[in-house]
Amino acid sequence: MQETTQALAFEVRGLPPQKTETLSILSAGHRQAERVRALLLAALAAAQQSGWTPTRTEVSLEIVVRGSASHVGSAPRFLAGVADVLSDKRGRLTGTHLGVLADVTLYADERQIRAITYREEPADEPSYLVRVTALGV
């Protein structure tokens, strides 16, 4: 498997959305709604600026979480939350609470993710970097 040059990276203020329960984090009124919206807004801006189009090829996902060591969250929950939010949401949403953000998709399905990198770095203010790279065959 060879890596192509199609990659998208962007920064988001705050902590990533966490998948912590069976209720979809995409649901209206979910306690992760603010984090979901921040992630989708940042992904939309980056995709528009770079010309990224949703891919159906395999992808790698990198997340770098910055903040204090005492933040509430864990790598598996952050990874699952980000991966879920950036995939195609058609058929998984009830209501129109996300508006145009419901169409923000970087890849079709989480099963396309073939490589994951996660790390944490100290910082005064919480933020995170997301990088999605399309992998060629």
Q: What pLDDT is attached to residue 62?
A: 98
Which CATH entry fits the domain spanning 2-136: 3.40.50.300, 3.30.1330.70, 3.40.50.2300, 1.10.3720.10? 3.30.1330.70
Q: For residue range 90-113, what is the model confidence (pLDDT) as tens digits?
A: 666 655 677 788 888 899 999 999
Polymer length of the chain: 137
87: DSSP letter: B
Q: CA angle at residue 92 from 62 to 112, to 5 degrees?
A: 35
Q: What pLDDT is attached to residue 93?
A: 60
Do residues 50 and 1 lie in contact, with contact meaning Cβ atoms separated by under 8 Å? no
Among 60, 76, 72, 46, smallest CA distance to 4 is for 60
Q: For residue range 118-127, what is the model confidence (pLDDT) as tens digits?
A: 999 999 999 9
With a cut of 80, say whether residue 64 has pLDDT above it. yes
Do residues 69 and 125 lie in contact, with contact meaning Cβ atoms separated by under 8 Å? no
Q: What pLDDT is attached to residue 102?
A: 82
With a cut of 50, say whether residue 4 has pLDDT above it. no
Give the 3-state secondary structure of residue 39.
helix
Of 22-26, 29-33, 99-103, which range is least confident? Answer: 22-26
> b/e per residue, 29-51, with b = 16+ CB within 10 A?
ebebbebbbbbbebbbebbeeee
pLDDT bin (cut points 50, 70, 90) of residue 2 is very low
Of 26-35, 45-54, 98-107, which range is least confident? Answer: 26-35
